[in-house]
Structure 1
Amino acid sequence: MRRATAAKRVLSAMEHYDIVIIGAGLAGSLAAIALAREGHRVALIGPRPAIADGRTTALMDQSIEYLKTLGIWDDVAPLTAPLVAIHIIDATKRLLRAPPVNFRAAEVGLEAFGHNIPNAPFLEILEKHEASLPTLERVPVAATVFDFGEVEVRVGLEDGRMLTADLIVGADGRRSAVREAADIETFTWSYPQAAVVLNFAHELPHQEVSTEFHTVSGPFTQVPLPGDRSSLVWVQKPRDAEETLQLPLDVLSRTIEDRMQSILGKVTVEGKPQSFPLTGMTARRFGKGRVMLVGEAAHAFPPIGAQGLNLSLRDVMTVAELVGSPTGRRLPADTGDRFDSRRRIDIVSRTASVDLLNRSLLSSFLPVQAMRAVGLQLLSSAGPLRGLLMREGIHPGSALQSIKESLRETFTRKTA
């Protein structure tokens, strides 16, 4: 029997749930809502954030469709701005630079790739939905003890309660106590970068276009918010990020305007910027026995290409699909193993692609710069290739399916 802590404590009478979710951030809250809506008895465990999350999240089309099935989107939509186009500009000033690349949602038959939403109000909306679900109990304290038995999982809480469950979902971030208690190792790496995030108002309309400047220190990415406002993710060297945080707001505003080549006119930074070190992590397993890991408990990488929460939502979709609707029987003890098998290809491929893109920006090796420039040149000039990449970004696996269907049609015509 394994424990997350060596300390033993006397706990009160046990309450049983179908699923216990540890971690009440966006991924954990969405998992709790999805499972409780199916009728499962769910406990969502974890304290509320001490500091409001100043970041925003770009939800892609597949994620939005899932929020609609959960009955959440109508509340979320007014806080979002659509992303109808993504404009990539090579601002590396290197010898080998790529031409600008434009991705437009209309090219793949969509009104928008997705929508951008601030994290803090998004979480508040999820908390309201949690409160409306009769089979969901919100427990705003930390979990301190985890025992994984053959029949059930036992979870000891900071307030002295002991809960039992058929399954446990770890949504408790990069330093996941669930992952550690389950003896799941991780592979971690770091980048010589930090991400400065902030919101800003601007003089000219963004026209629902996100512009990403590729620089030698990393992406400088503007993403639309409602009205004449945008969010910014500015990847820099850690020392430069520290200096950026210390700039007076008027100086910072002018610096951002200059970096953006004044495409949105005068810029006014709102509130205090935040900074996060850039690291990467992937669990060696994403599920095991009665344990499933979602969100940053399973995978974490730089904020590039709007992959983070969209990947986490696919974790949640898979959890809900595997668990299904209540049957009156205990949930299977091998659910975590099946979850690991289902999620492995998607997580590994997305992590690798983000890592490769980020490292290609940092590399001073001329052949790497040449390959990156050629790749962006192909995307700029080859419409079908660009469309294939856009479909894959929105609906993972769709590109491979499209190729299979095309080959099948070609073979059918030749044999007819």
Structure 2
Amino acid sequence: MNQADITIVGGGLAGMVAAIALARGGRHIAFVAPPAARSDGRTTALMDQSIRLLGRLGLWDKIAPATAALSTMQIIDGTHRLLRAPTVAFHAAEIGLDAFGYNMPNKALLAVLGDAVATEGNIRVIEASAVAIDIRDDGVTVTLDNGEMLQSSFVVGADGRNSMVREAAGISVRTWSYPQSAMVLNFAHSLPHQNISTEFHTESGPFTQVPLPGDRSSLVWVQKPTEAADRAASTPEVLSVQVEERMQSLLGKVTVEDGVQVWPLSGMTASRFGKGRAALIGEAAHVFPPIGAQGLNLSLRDIMALTDILCDRPQQAISATAGDQFDRKRRTDIISRTASVDVLNRSLLSDFLPVQVLRAAGLHVLASLPPLRGIVMREGIEPGRGLGFIPSMLMEKLRRKAS
């Protein structure tokens, strides 16, 4: 029976980053994942906190050439309702950053992470699938479809929304669905994006353009399922015109590229995010709509918290309650982010006038109060950062009044 400190089940983006972070934290990792396709045409926007993690792991310089900076994020009310919100622009320079984050093709990110996993001495890559997982007080046994059995002190479930690790740990989930689908695509445009990401709020959901290198952008267009299916079945020329019209021609002529995908929107959250000798990260723990660039950024915060717990003293044995520690550490962030994304999405769908008033008023306040906008921006890229800035902001105001 093969031994490791930690077994990671699942080979996606979250699983690979977790393997690298925990291995470089001094733990011996068994990384269990069947061979994965590297043809993912989607993109990922990572915020400043996530970029700093990749920098600490020595990965950012290899990824950076394939990315585009997100220096400005603007929200435009694209609804046709009587009560419309003002346009709000958030500039990274307002909080002392060159960029809120960077957008990158998943293919480039997967390539860099794959190379790092393959060359990391503390990681043993096992191209197999788990068929049974036994989580006990004294350790974890993972049985693979090749007949091999792995013994470790801890198991990390990075195996998606149908997680075997979650099931083995006896952790239940709450699921929900939305009357929406997300169309995901990349497109070229005739005018430069100037590193500006624009999110149009529409009656069917957000329409979010995010810069890519050159005169290209990625798009997540949340819409009614029937409309998404019809548009996906149309010709690239027709879809290009529709995207340009929805963009209000802000980027000039649009040319939609091959690889349009449509995904039904749903949500899921686990009742616990860790238990005993197991922890859940990524979509094994939480799933929600692609709004506000929260998905992988939330997963990387999972990994940062897990690394703090499991690698604080890598020469010592892993505690039998490390999963419970992880659950306590991650609960507030995950629940609050899931709830905020859900409320924002449902507010766009609601025709209830008071809901529209609240949404418009909130955006108006952000547009007119720079200090509050700064707090929201800091909190958006790193939980606690915005709230932690309030005392220093108040002290600065008192200092100015006294002088």
TM-score, with length taken from structure 2:
0.96
Residue of structure 1 in register with 2:100 after alignment: 113
Confirm or deny: 8 A CA contact 1:54 1:197 kept in the other structure.
no
Structure 1 residue 396 and structure 2 residue 374: aligned?
A: no
Deviation at 1:177, TM superposition (A): 1.0
Q: 1 CA distance for matches of 2:393 and 2:251?
A: 41
Confirm or deny: 8 A CA contact 1:39 1:325 kept in the other structure.
no
Deviation at 1:50, TM superposition (A): 4.3
Structure 1 residue 152 and structure 2 residue 139: aligned?
A: yes
CA distances 1:279-305 after superposition (whole Å, capped 9, x unpaired): 111110000000000011111111111
Confirm or deny: 8 A CA contact 2:137 2:276 kept in the other structure.
no
Look up the equivalent residue of 2:350 and give its one-letter code: S
Residue of structure 2 in register with 1:318 after alignment: 305
Structure 2: state its 5+ residue gaps.
Answer: none
CA distances 1:210-253 after superposition (whole Å, capped 9, x unpaired): 01110000001100000000000000111111111101111111
Structure 1 residue 370 and structure 2 residue 354: aligned?
A: no
Q: What is the root-mean-square deviation of aligned Cα atoms in Å?
A: 1.7
Q: 1 CA distance for matches of 2:385 and 2:339?
A: 18
Structure 1 residue 224 and structure 2 residue 227: aligned?
A: no
Equivalent of 2:154 in 141, 145, 167: 167
Deviation at 1:336, TM superposition (A): 0.1
Superposition pairs for residues 32-43 of structure 1, below 5 Å? Answer: 32-43=19-30
Q: 1:216 to 1:331 in 2, by over 3 A?
A: same
Structure 1 residue 309 and structure 2 residue 321: aligned?
A: no
Q: 2 CA distance for matches of 1:164 and 1:404?
A: 48
Q: 1:413 to 1:225 in 2, by over 3 A?
A: closer
User: 2:380 aligns to what SS in structure 1?
Assistant: helix
Deviation at 1:149, TM superposition (A): 1.7
Q: 1:363 to 1:158 in 2, by over 3 A?
A: same
User: 1:147 aligns to what SS in structure 2?
Assistant: strand
Confirm or deny: 8 A CA contact 1:220 1:235 kept in the other structure.
yes
Deviation at 1:411, TM superposition (A): 9.4
Residue of structure 1 in register with 2:44 after alignment: 57
Q: 2 CA distance for matches of 1:66 and 1:327?
A: 19
Confirm or deny: 8 A CA contact 2:174 2:269 kept in the other structure.
yes
Equivalent of 1:77 in 58, 64, 81: 64
CA distances 1:156-195 after superposition (whole Å, capped 9, x unpaired): 0011100011000001111111111111001111100110
Residue of structure 2 in register with 1:9 after alignment: none
Q: 1 CA distance for matches of 2:273 and 2:394?
A: 33
Look up the equivalent residue of 1:278 and give its one-letter code: L
**Greater alpha carbon shift after TM alignment, 287-296 vs 50-59:** 50-59
Q: 1 CA distance for matches of 2:355 and 2:192?
A: 36
Q: 1 CA distance for matches of 2:103 and 2:248?
A: 22
Structure 1 residue 66 and structure 2 residue 53: aligned?
A: yes
Look up the equivalent residue of 1:102 and give its one-letter code: A
Superposition pairs for residues 189-228 of structure 1, below 5 Å? Answer: 189-228=176-215
Confirm or deny: 8 A CA contact 1:214 1:361 kept in the other structure.
yes
Equivalent of 2:270 in 283, 290, 293: 283
Q: 1:130 to 1:51 in 2, by over 3 A?
A: closer
Equivalent of 2:255 in 268, 274, 295: 268
User: 1:271 aligns to what SS in structure 2?
Assistant: coil
**Greater alpha carbon shift after TM alignment, 168-177 vs 49-58:** 49-58
Equivalent of 2:230 in 231, 238, 243: 243
User: 1:98 aligns to what SS in structure 2?
Assistant: coil
Q: 2 CA distance for matches of 1:76 and 1:318?
A: 23
CA distances 1:53-95 after superposition (whole Å, capped 9, x unpaired): 2221111011101100000001100110000001111011101
Q: 2 CA distance for matches of 1:149 and 1:289?
A: 8
Confirm or deny: 8 A CA contact 2:38 2:111 kept in the other structure.
no
User: 1:261 aligns to what SS in structure 2?
Assistant: coil
User: 1:175 aligns to what SS in structure 2?
Assistant: coil
Deviation at 1:254, TM superposition (A): 1.1
User: 2:257 aligns to what SS in structure 1?
Assistant: strand
**Greater alpha carbon shift after TM alignment, 134-143 vs 81-90:** 134-143
Equivalent of 1:133 in 104, 120, 125: 120
Residue of structure 1 in register with 2:7 after alignment: 20
Structure 1 residue 346 and structure 2 residue 333: aligned?
A: yes
CA distances 1:88-146 after superposition (whole Å, capped 9, x unpaired): 11011101110111000011111110000111221111010011111101112111100
Confirm or deny: 8 A CA contact 1:40 1:326 kept in the other structure.
no
Equivalent of 2:367 in 376, 380, 385: 380
User: 1:199 aligns to what SS in structure 2?
Assistant: strand
Equivalent of 2:74 in 78, 84, 87: 87
Q: 1:275 to 1:260 in 2, by over 3 A?
A: same
Look up the equivalent residue of 2:323 and give its one-letter code: G
Q: 1:353 to 1:327 in 2, by over 3 A?
A: closer
Structure 1 residue 337 and structure 2 residue 324: aligned?
A: yes
